[in-house]
Chain A
């Protein structure tokens, strides 16, 4: 039982990272932009949050967790939106290819983050020395009374606020896409920009906004990763990038539905960590286990294309640029 609970809690922490990434990417893709820069954006969000907290804690005589939290949160949002803006400007205004631009953004974001991360490590006095303990604690704070309610409390109340924020954002995104007027228009842009254009929707503005807001949400995944998942440190081991690609996979697995992304994210977490809880696995088999999320994603992708169910398809104009004159 304890084992199961601990598997589930680590799955939830893991899932929260990719849930942010995926929900942001869903918003972006719903506008027809396939942004393969998600890992890069998550990197940007993570390093910006970390750097903000680091400099705050370094300069403040007695750092307050809440202030560090707000500063790092804002920095993460700003940095990842900037990443989205670069992508949007290149693909929408300059009409560059989406795949190539996204991959470049991933290279750029990962490079920038690790460059700064390395420098921060140096500033902090050596490799692995960086730590923003105060801010990280604020991120991981939970209500002790609830968290202490035995297994139940552990499973539902032992996480920092961002785990719940992720769910809230996913629910809000689902409501936004499904119910709100702007979300409706956004879906039309991603499906059929020419029709949206004819209906008086400003396709360019929608694409820009969706890409930047989506990037901001994805970037929060990076922030959560640095502050909670690795507890306010920085490591150059490529895990963040792997998580970013898992977020892209999650979008497919959830068939572009934010609500479905919630439980799918935790499922990915369970699949990812399951090897820890199965006794007698060799280290090699552990690696095979980590393959599972990608494998099931491919199965979903194939099933969706075979079934041709209209509801589960990618947005119709995904990956294509829209220019009115070239219809």
Chain B
């Protein structure tokens, strides 16, 4: 009975500090099947797979490979068991060729037999329909080529069980099709494959079975043939949880930001944000929903002057309403934006790497945005000092003193310091990215309260979030991004979780009601 399973994970638990990433999770992978591991961001999919590939070691639980209980303490162990994982962040050396990357660290003769390697690579390629040039340098490769190389690398090392972590996140639809084709070839050859994803259409298109995780717990599995998008969404997002977040009706909302034809390309020229048209109103909270990496970061950074946008893009700031004067924000930088009197507050996703200076004290960090004020060449330390004390007092920041480097504070306290500073500048627009990620319940509610206060004060608040329950209960409107495009804007009071979840994964809804 047991041997028809390639992998069985039973009651696997993993905690990081106080966070339970996986709680008694069950997973089975049959031989020669493609299994989708489905779940929202933060549902524990990658953590679970990292335990299978030897990156993490489980706190509790058993892992069976081929019917035998095993211990996987390192990626090396995983390879020995025939398990190979392709991570989201590729582990490739840029200046080496494909073949060189494949044989990196492998035992063997003094000289790498390039011909033999190339031949074996070509064998693997022709067998499954990959397209890898063994002599091509990684820096010359597109993202999809790199991904292919990673898969070939695992096969070269003898993997029978493949784990792909959100492989389609970086691919175009055509490349996704190609990937699916080779995945089917591998399955038909007897390989067992787990694909981590949160895209329903892909689950339905590629997998034989699907296992669903939610908040680190095993929800269930089913044959894909018996599943449909609605049923899977329900399993993935769960029943609506009432959070009792306060939400007042916006008082006379006025259009404050007009985003028109906003298109952003990254350094490699890949379009990250595609022709976004969106209005942001003063006195409301606009939620931004989407799978991670669908353009949320670019949207906020383009508004803040940290990302350059393609010409033709426009973000107009209207301090006094739709008929008042306007400032164009595209083409500016944070400094010129501030100098124009636009009071823009931004709580970025990377709190310690962007929003704060990790090694500086609370006081030092309070100065970050205001240190320029005044004509004196000296920095004013008195006001930041008072501000730091005020934030520590009002937001109950736990810190030894206001002269402690923020690096030493816990995540929740770091966020309080950051949000506190941004709000203290009396913004007219407040943008936040994943403001409650990693925070405990109490701190999260503190953040919600602060955002609501800002809304009441007539600030235009943008809340980029990943927890749909929060988005639905906090925000007045929700803009849903999908693959860098706006898939629609919903009314936060009437939208359902399924609706949002569906729009996050599919791009057919257009202008679902502004």
Give the interface of A toward B (CB within 8 A): 179-182, 184-185, 187-188, 191-192, 194-196, 198-201, 310-311, 313, 316
Contacts and interface: CB of A to CB of B under 8 A. Distances in A.
B75 A184 contact: no
A196 B139 contact: no
A187 B137 CA distance: 14
B255 to A, nearest CB: 43
A316 B94 contact: yes
Interface string B67-99: 000000001100000000000000111111000
B96 A310 contact: no
Contacts of B139: 310
Given A180-B110, A180-B112, A200-B76, A185 B94 contact: no
B108 A187 contact: no
Interface of B: 75-76, 91-96, 100, 103-106, 108-112, 137, 139
A180 B93 CA distance: 17
Contacts of B96: 184, 187-188, 191
Nearest to A175: B111
B104 A185 contact: yes
B109 A181 contact: yes
A195 B106 CA distance: 13
A195 B110 contact: no
B315 to A, nearest CB: 31
Given A200-B76, A310-B137, A310-B139, A181 B93 contact: no
Instruction: Please classify the interface of chain A as helix (H, G, I), strand (E, B), loop, or mixed, using the class held by over half of its residues.
Output: helix
Given A195-B92, A196-B93, A201-B105, 8 more contacts: A181-B110, A181-B112, A184-B100, A187-B93, A187-B96, A188-B105, A199-B91, A310-B95
Nearest to A202: B105
B84 to A, nearest CB: 12
Contacts of B92: 195
Nearest to B105: A199
Contacts of A201: 104-105
B103 A188 contact: no
Contact of B111 (A181, A185, A194, A199): A181
Q: Which 4 A-B pairs have the closest CB atoms?
A: A199-B105, A200-B105, A199-B104, A195-B91
Nearest to B74: A200
A192 B112 contact: no
Contacts of B137: 310
Nearest to A182: B110
A200 B75 contact: yes
A192 B93 contact: yes
A267 B112 CA distance: 33
A107 B139 CA distance: 40
Given A196-B93, A201-B105, A184 B76 contact: no
Contact of A179 (B91, B95, B111): B111
